[in-house]
Amino acid sequence: MIRTPPGWGAEMLAQAYHSMTRTDARRGAAPAGIPVVRRIGLKDLQDALRRGFEDFAASRTDILLLCLIYPLVGLLLGRAASGYGMLPLIFPLASGFALIGPLAAVGLNEMSRRREMGEPVTLGTAFAVFRSPAIGSILLLGAVFLTMFLFWLVISQGFYDATLGPRPPQSAAAFVHDVFLTGPGYVLIVAGVGVGLLFAVVALAIGCVSFPLLLDRNAGIEVAVRTSVRVAIYNPVTIAAWGLIVAAGLVIGSIPLLLGLIVVMPVLGHATWHLYRHTVAWM
């Protein structure tokens, strides 16, 4: 039976939720309160980005060291793809990074949270997330995002095999020619962009504030995901604009050689915490 990404994602989240609720029951976890979703506008996004940049500037030395991992991992993945006949997966690898962005930024969320509380922030603060009471929920939800990323790579490879494949391209120049100057290449572009957009919308809806919420209140996966989806539903234009900002930032950060991600990723990661603060209040 073939399931759509949203249906598959919902099943994964349900399994994760049942696992976490059993764990929380054993620990006697207390209720975290009731999340109230606010309506926000583009000015709130501007403020979140401004505050995110301020967080970055306040601890830029530690953050730059931490975020060196993003371009290094990206370059290693790109090298592996191009060196083993996996050239068609380079773009899905790069674009799919947005799917796991919320998970990759959780350490930066923690740094912003600690700074907001007036606590000192160092390189080790980002790793303090592993001592968070919500680490179980964070890891389970992160596993869902990672599985979505892998699912996207499998579908991308399938699209290539059905259009320009299944044989790998003879060279990078031949691959670019086939993608942009042939009929099957146009089909690959349209299908890839269409399905990629679906993945991006699902990831944005369930992840725009879920990780910061778990860090803040440890309310459980179901509450975090439901609240994140409500934020997207109540603020469709603003959250769509946020998605475009993230996508544009990742594209800009990829030039040259992904080095811009050293700055782009921390600013966006910190800004995500402030976006959560703008959109969610607790009763």
> In terms of Cα–Cα distance, which of 80, 142, 97, 117 is closest to 277?
117
Place 29 in a pLDDT band, splitting at 50, 70 and 90. very low
Residue 211, judged by CB atoms within 10 A of its CB (0-12, 13-18, 19+), counts as buried
Q: Region 70-88: what's the mean pLDDT?
A: 66
Question: Which phi and psi (to 5°) does residue 86 adopt?
Answer: -110, 30
Give 253 or 179, the one with higher predicted confidence: 179
Q: How far apart are CA 255 and CA 252, in angstroms?
A: 6
Interval 145-174: pLDDT, tens: 999 999 999 999 999 999 998 888 888 888
Interval 195-211: pLDDT, tens: 999 999 999 999 999 99
Q: Work out the mean pLDDT of the chain and round it to a whole number.
A: 83
CA-based end-to-end distance of the chain: 42
Amino acid at 191: A
Query: What is the reported pLDDT for 19?
Result: 42
Question: Looking at 23-27, 54-58, 169-173, which range is the least confident one?
Answer: 23-27
**pLDDT exceeding 70 applies to what percent of the chain?**
78
Question: Which phi and psi (to 5°) does residue 218 adopt?
Answer: 50, 50
Q: How far apart are CA 113 and CA 134, in angstroms?
A: 14
The b/e string for 233-247 (b: 16+ C-beta within 10 A; e otherwise) is eebeebbeebbebbe
Question: Looking at 115-129, 142-156, 229-243, which range is the least confident one?
Answer: 115-129
Cβ 55 vs Cβ 136: under 8 Å:
no
**What are 169's two structure tokens?**
């391209």
Angle between helices 236-253 and 221-234 (to 10 degrees): 100
* Residue indicated by tokens 């309506």: 39
Query: What is the reported pLDDT for 74?
Result: 65
Residue 85, judged by CB atoms within 10 A of its CB (0-12, 13-18, 19+), counts as exposed
